[in-house]
Structure 1
Amino acid sequence: MREALERAKALRWAGRPEDAALELRKALAGAGDRCELLYLLWDCQFVLGDRAAAHETLLEAKGLAEGKMVARVAVAEASWLMSQGEYREAMTLAGSVDTDDDAVRAYALSVRGVCEAFLGDVDLGIATLEDARTAAHRSGCVRELTRAVGNLTFVLGSSGRHERSARIGKEALTRLRIQGMAPTFSAVIRYNLAASLFALGRWQELDELEVPDSIPGNKAARILLCKAEAAALRGQDPDDLIEEAEKIIDGPDALFTAQCTYARAVAARAKGQYRAAVELCRETVADAPEAMTRGEVLRLCVEGLGAARDLRTAPGRVTRLDDPEATEQELLARLPLPHGPEDEVWRRVAFAEAGRDSWAEIALDWDRLKMPYQAAYARTRCGEPEALRHADRTALRLDARPLAKMIERQARRQRIPLLHEDKPQLGTLTPRERDVLELLGWGRTNKEIASELVLSVRTVGLHVSHVLAKLGAGNRSEAARIARDQT
């Protein structure tokens, strides 16, 4: 039995839960001491999404648990309760676990910390998750360390503390890479990092974030959708990234649908297809299942309200909404209650799009959360001369071309000079883009640049596109010439 258990563990931690479950079922057929096998089988079934079978396995393990397995199974039961939304019961059960095993203690603290955060005490939840991380470090158990860090970065990000979440996530990924651990361990951490990099406007780092083939399909797909959202905000077509995500996801879920809709609505709005953006958001929010997070619903409502406002003021012949006031009221009525400081600001943005809140104050709120794109958008809507100039500088730095065009239109209407210089500026390039530009000047191909900078060819292609766009160059040779002229 012990050999079968070790084989199953190796398969599970290598990201092959189906094979691990098969190995465990074979072992269970002739096992005398079944509890530890059942415990690992429940974990595999849970990860694979077979929740009914997982619950039955857990109940069987609970009936057989003795000694050290009592605490393990109790924490697994708390984790199960948490997955069902029974946060208070899960928190109580996880808090009652008494064990000297640091790995089991770390698991219990992870469950308790998430529940505390979901029940409204985010600061206490974060402190508990830090304790979980410490216990996991002491235990030397990589699985529990990644669980603790994954939960910690999730709670930090979902409460608007993206900078801290990104820092902890990057440190953890570096440590796992040094230890030679399989990428499957890092899936949750990697996705949380992608979400925080997107929020922080660190889109170049997001472009460079690798998505290893061994990462489970759902997490890999969501990382690609974070990249798609960033592409849309830069005026690029997100469809290729969305289609790639659709190929690898293990059955689209509510969060996936919301992210796809958001990226497509942003892209439609950037092209001036305001009505299409409104309808995309309206339809998705109207059909939103309970599994869709409040934050995603808020973002979709805000994007729909913003597109509806653009449609009202758009010049020329555009297809107007049949009843713009009714559309506005419908989207406002669907706004969920906020969960955390970031959600609170998104809700304020929704009311500001309807003319019921202060854009200047909202811009400062986004500044406090260190979300530069959203702050620049709020300053654009505010329309004050200095606010527009501030927004313009941010849009140029982020390469957010649709927002930059929106700022230019607003500035022209109000006759506000943006203090642009006519010639393209190398100062708008990121350090990595400067590296790529230098190698372009030496006549390197994308493949050669990728090899020299240790990047993927696809990432280099994105950098080259950004360099050409920022410098207004028609091709690689022209970009190199502009660089020579200004150095």
Structure 2
Amino acid sequence: MLPNVERISVSPVFIGRGSQMAALTDALERADGGQPQVLLIGGEAGVGKSRLLEEFEATAVARGSTAVVGNCLEVGAEGLPYAPFATILRRLHRAIGPELDAAAVGRESSLARLLPDMGEAPPEAHDEYARARLFEHTTQLFEQLAADRTFVLAVEDLHWSDRSTRELFAYLIRTLHRARLVLLATYRSDDLHRRHPVRPYLAELERLRTVQRLELPRLARREVARQLAGILSPDRPKAELVDQIFKRSEGNPFFVEELAVASQQGCRTGLTETLRDLLLVRIETLPETTQTMLRLLAQGGSRVEHGLLAAVVEATGTLDEDELIDALRTAVGANIIQQTSDGDGYRFRHALVREAVSDDLMPGEVTRANRRYALALEADPTLVSTDQRASRLAGYWYCSHDAARAVPAVLDAGREARRRNAFAEQLRMLDRALELWEDVPAEVRDTLRDYDHADESYPACSCEGGCDCAGDCSAIQLVDLLAEATVAARFSGETDRSLRYTKRALRLIDEKKSPERAVWFMLARAHALSYDVGARPDKEMLEALGLLEGRKPSAVLAELLHRQALDGMLGIPGREHLDCARRAVEIAEQVGAASLKLHAQLTLGMLHCSFGELEEGAALLAQIRERAEAAGDVNLLSRVYTNLSSHHETQGRSREAAEVARTGLAMIRANGMTGYSGTIILGNLAEPLISLGELDEAERLLAEEPDWSGQRAHRDFMHRLRGEIALLRGDVAGAAEHLAEVRRVGVLWQPQKYVPTSLLAMRIAAAQGRYAEARAELVSVLDRGRPEGHDRSWWALLAAGAAVEADARRLPTMAPGQAEILDRIRCTATGLTVELPLYAGWQAVLDAELARAEGTVTTAHWRRATDALAVLECPFPRGLALFRLAESLAAEGDRAEAAQAALLAGELARKQGNQLLLDDLQALTGRARLAPPTTATQQEDDETFHLTPREQDVLKLLALGRTNRQIAEELFISPKTASVHVSNILAKLDVTGRGEAAAVAHRLRLVATR
């Protein structure tokens, strides 16, 4: 609409960003090779982030890449959900429409939540799974697009980002591992105050291997001189002017530009030291009509469409169409505003300018301007894009302080945000509705009806005229808003806020008149409390059950009974939990809650297995799996695969557990549910892989864990698995760090969590020779009692406790209480099942360890253990039993057989990756002077000082002078893991430094010489 104008304040010369451009170019080269790169570009306002991005974008395009930028938008003080990604998709659609459409096939309904042009989103997808599906499908889209050429996707102004945008951006970073893609984000570092949500977000991202963080410094004096020369060309700036502008701008490029223009216009005397005054001085030199237009533009948001601005200006009656065009031309010519990249609107050239103009308005002007924007948008909704319409209208009405108009608007925006699975933004809108609710006239509230709740189990009002709705139960009540906010808070991971909403709602509800609603909020509170360490709302659940006893069957009652059964399954199951599960199944069938019925049956099957009723439980689990697959219920299927894989691993069928978990993971990824249930299924796949000795794959899987707040209940599980891998690799200190994280973040009241955690703690303490701590850990678990259904963990825990006592048998400090602890171990083991081969093997190991602790162990004890474990597919604990057998045979003087047992133990230890056991075997071989038959594998190990294949790879790079970080990058491992490998190498080679290790590598010809 407007012709190009000369930008007299922008330097045509790109100044002082050589190192940053080099880093970006290097990232582009890596991305060309199929390694996705992420760069976070920070700096204070006006330091040149956007200019750097523009220059790099031009470089990337010149090299054949596709570069697209999307901006985070600000409406009032809030960002719009997914705004930059909607812009990116829109621009890609214009640039490579057919290619984008082809890549989006099969994902249109999810991607339509970002860009309506992609298709039509299903109206029923209002849950966390659809949100996760959106994230997964977006990832798959970019992965497919970036398969053949490099894409540069940039998100500008991350400091204005909404939470959903940040989570989607982080999800892309964590899940895109093989794509020709460069992800960029810019942010204002000076806006990130201590409580700004982006501050911890950036710190978390920076920990990832693929993420680089670039901070743009201010310009030096010589760089300011070059910038001024470009701006003032052909006049060369005088040294006096350079000194003055450098001093006052402090090297901020934007300040330099503003001061340079001011110097050209002869406005030096009016300038103040603050940016606000500086910017307002420039604006006050413009015609009054232009200033009027800028004041209105400032209230429209970070960008305003031309049609919307024209409608607002027309409503004021101050400017006609021609005057508006002249005002816009003047503002663009003065470089105060610029056209948006898509050419359909305007934005201030720098957000600081808009902030200064907005801050200078009187409160009445702000209210009136926002009201005019709202009225204009209501009169013609096509003035803004569909994906922004509801949020923009809600923002305008909210800032106009008109509660009667604002509440319906924010409720509509909340529905729209939920439809797009932007739960954090939905929650913000609901908060605004709750804030303004009491100011809404009663006649307006009565018109708000038929709110479509995300949780279908939320009961309709059954007060029959006995509550605050005054008999009109179709009208939205305050408790309805609180219910929806409770669900949005839960989906957003805002546990504290969810608790606040439920507390407020329960104060409003009369339990006698609306018992089902009261119980619904009690269940919601119990769900939130389950995320807190040690929080077990058993008493409240009993009170809730009392409210519904004797009433007609309902979905709420079925859910309440199922919740009690589920808590028992995850905690300390009793026969009463079986009864609860059965009743939940019956009631769910009566009220037609088909999905709830299957969930309750699944819980019932797992409870049968907990009580050793394996055939009945297994039959029910198989039945549920078949029905879930037939129904295509992905929510239920994710739980089926999770529970089945855990069940198989518990029973020692690790290979089968891995297969089920792998199938479940594929299903979850195919349905876009990785963000919601991906963590637990990743853990359930990694755990049997660890049992099978496939540590590299397990470690890779754990690195893919999505860091979602909704998954925090499983963070202790993931850290424990990482700790187990670290311990197996011999990194005891690293294992201890992960253990500390388990206990910091963990929900450790469940036996399935605290028993394996204590087992890891005992093994770490024993590896460090802290036997008293290991004993104390065991005692703390024994004092809790032994619940049903966790026999595998208990066998391993008790055997480890007996081994600690055996290892410390001759220590005077451990003698007191040793007999008592051994008796407690025996007593606890009584009643554990031995029907499964794994459990029978553990029983034999425990018997042998108890005998070793009492000094009565014989070779026969360990032969029984190794024979019992011979049928298992997992290398542990058979490798441990063979080591003890070798130790016992060596003590009896049978070195030949001891050597053979040690050889077999070593093969299993290497298969498992158990470096601690290998170290013990090496020590035993040296002490007993064992000379086992040399195998080809062992011969190779001898030539390379028993270095593992991974350690040999690290040594090769070490010999080439690589740093730990460079080694990590080349081998796709973390710097910490690389450091551990280097330490192990130095120890095995018996050298004191990297130089000596390099010399050994060259001597062994592990490094090619030229």
2:523 corresponds in structure 1 to 42
- AA matched with 1:12: R
Structure 1 range deviating more: 436-445 or 331-340:
436-445
1:232 corresponds in structure 2 to 727
Match of 2:589 among 98, 108, 112: 98
Q: Distance in 1 between matches of 2:974 and 2:831?
A: 41
SS at match of 1:113: helix
Q: What does residue range 20-419 of structure 1 map to in structure 2 within 5 Å?
A: 20=498, 29=508, 35=516, 38-39=519-520, 42=523, 45-46=526-527, 48-49=529-530, 50-57=537-544, 60=547, 75-76=562-563, 78-79=565-566, 85=574, 86-90=576-580, 92-93=582-583, 96=586, 98=589, 102-181=594-673, 183-208=675-700, 209-210=702-703, 211=705, 212-214=707-709, 216-235=711-730, 236-237=732-733, 238-250=735-747, 258-273=755-770, 275-276=771-772, 279-280=775-776, 283-290=779-786, 293-312=790-809, 321-322=815-816, 328-339=822-833, 341=836, 342-353=838-849, 354=851, 355=857, 358-383=861-886, 384-385=897-898, 386-418=900-932, 419=934
- AA matched with 2:1006: D
Q: Aligned-pair distance for 1:161?
A: 1.8
Q: Distance in 2 between matches of 1:411 and 1:465?
A: 23
Tell me if the contact between 1:156 and 1:165 (Cα under 8 Å) persists in the aligned partners: yes
Q: Deviations over 1:39-62 (max 9, x none)?
A: 475155145233333443455467
Q: Aligned-pair distance for 1:367?
A: 4.3
Tell me if the contact between 2:608 and 2:614 (Cα under 8 Å) persists in the aligned partners: yes
SS at match of 2:589: coil
Q: Deviations over 1:303-347 (max 9, x none)?
A: 2322332344x7xx9866357656544432332422463444322
Q: Aligned-pair distance for 1:129?
A: 1.9
C-alpha spacing 1:140/1:232, structure 2 compared with 1 (3 Å): same
Tell me if the contact between 1:338 and 1:347 (Cα under 8 Å) persists in the aligned partners: no
Q: Aligned-pair distance for 1:117?
A: 0.8
Q: Deviations over 1:31-79 (max 9, x none)?
A: 9988589547515514523333344345546766667667656645654
Q: TM (normalized to structure 1)?
A: 0.79
SS at match of 2:877: helix
Q: Distance in 2 between matches of 1:402 and 1:358?
A: 23
C-alpha spacing 1:412/1:445, structure 2 compared with 1 (3 Å): closer
Structure 1 range deviating more: 451-460 or 189-198:
451-460
Structure 1 range deviating more: 114-123 or 339-348:
339-348
Q: Distance in 2 between matches of 1:233 and 1:131?
A: 38
Q: Deviations over 1:278-315 (max 9, x none)?
A: 63355335523445954444333312322332344x7x
- AA matched with 2:921: I
Q: Distance in 2 between matches of 1:361 and 1:112?
A: 37
C-alpha spacing 1:359/1:138, structure 2 compared with 1 (3 Å): same
Q: Aligned-pair distance for 1:398?
A: 3.5
C-alpha spacing 1:166/1:123, structure 2 compared with 1 (3 Å): farther
Q: Deviations over 1:393-439 (max 9, x none)?
A: 22234442332232234334554313344322788326xx7776777
C-alpha spacing 1:47/1:145, structure 2 compared with 1 (3 Å): farther
Q: Distance in 1 between matches of 2:603 and 2:678?
A: 18
Tell me if the contact between 1:165 and 1:196 (Cα under 8 Å) persists in the aligned partners: yes
Q: Aligned-pair distance for 1:388?
A: 1.4
- AA matched with 2:629: H
Q: Aligned-pair distance for 1:441?
A: 7.2
Tell me if the contact between 2:565 and 2:578 (Cα under 8 Å) persists in the aligned partners: no
Tell me if the contact between 1:91 and 1:116 (Cα under 8 Å) persists in the aligned partners: no
Structure 1 range deviating more: 407-416 or 372-381:
407-416
Q: What does residue range 7-26 of structure 1 map to in structure 2 within 5 Å?
A: 8-16=486-494, 18-20=496-498
Q: Distance in 1 between matches of 2:626 and 2:904?
A: 42
Kindly indicate which of the two structures has a greater share of residues assigned to helix. 1
Q: TM (normalized to structure 2)?
A: 0.42
2:141 corresponds in structure 1 to none
SS at match of 1:368: coil
Unaligned runs of 5+ in 2: 1-450, 454-480, 531-536, 852-856, 887-896
SS at match of 1:373: coil
Tell me if the contact between 2:692 and 2:875 (Cα under 8 Å) persists in the aligned partners: yes
Unaligned runs of 5+ in 1: none
Tell me if the contact between 1:87 and 1:119 (Cα under 8 Å) persists in the aligned partners: no
Tell me if the contact between 1:359 and 1:378 (Cα under 8 Å) persists in the aligned partners: yes
- AA matched with 2:651: S
1:2 corresponds in structure 2 to 452
Structure 1 range deviating more: 459-468 or 337-346:
459-468
Q: Distance in 2 between matches of 1:9 and 1:142?
A: 20
Structure 1 range deviating more: 22-31 or 224-233:
22-31
C-alpha spacing 1:228/1:71, structure 2 compared with 1 (3 Å): closer
Tell me if the contact between 1:14 and 1:184 (Cα under 8 Å) persists in the aligned partners: no
Q: Distance in 2 between matches of 1:484 and 1:33?
A: 80
C-alpha spacing 1:215/1:6, structure 2 compared with 1 (3 Å): closer
Q: Distance in 2 between matches of 1:68 and 1:255?
A: 29
Tell me if the contact between 1:221 and 1:249 (Cα under 8 Å) persists in the aligned partners: yes
Tell me if the contact between 1:187 and 1:219 (Cα under 8 Å) persists in the aligned partners: yes
| Number of residue pairs the alignment of both structures matches | 481
Tell me if the contact between 2:695 and 2:913 (Cα under 8 Å) persists in the aligned partners: no
C-alpha spacing 1:410/1:436, structure 2 compared with 1 (3 Å): closer
Q: Aligned-pair distance for 1:102?
A: 4.8
- AA matched with 1:345: G
Q: Distance in 1 between matches of 2:786 and 2:960?
A: 54
C-alpha spacing 1:6/1:268, structure 2 compared with 1 (3 Å): closer
Structure 1 range deviating more: 162-171 or 416-425:
416-425
C-alpha spacing 1:446/1:51, structure 2 compared with 1 (3 Å): farther
C-alpha spacing 1:94/1:252, structure 2 compared with 1 (3 Å): closer
Q: Distance in 1 between matches of 2:696 and 2:987?
A: 14
Backbone CA RMSD of aligned residues:
4.2
Q: Aligned-pair distance for 1:447?
A: 5.1
2:91 corresponds in structure 1 to none
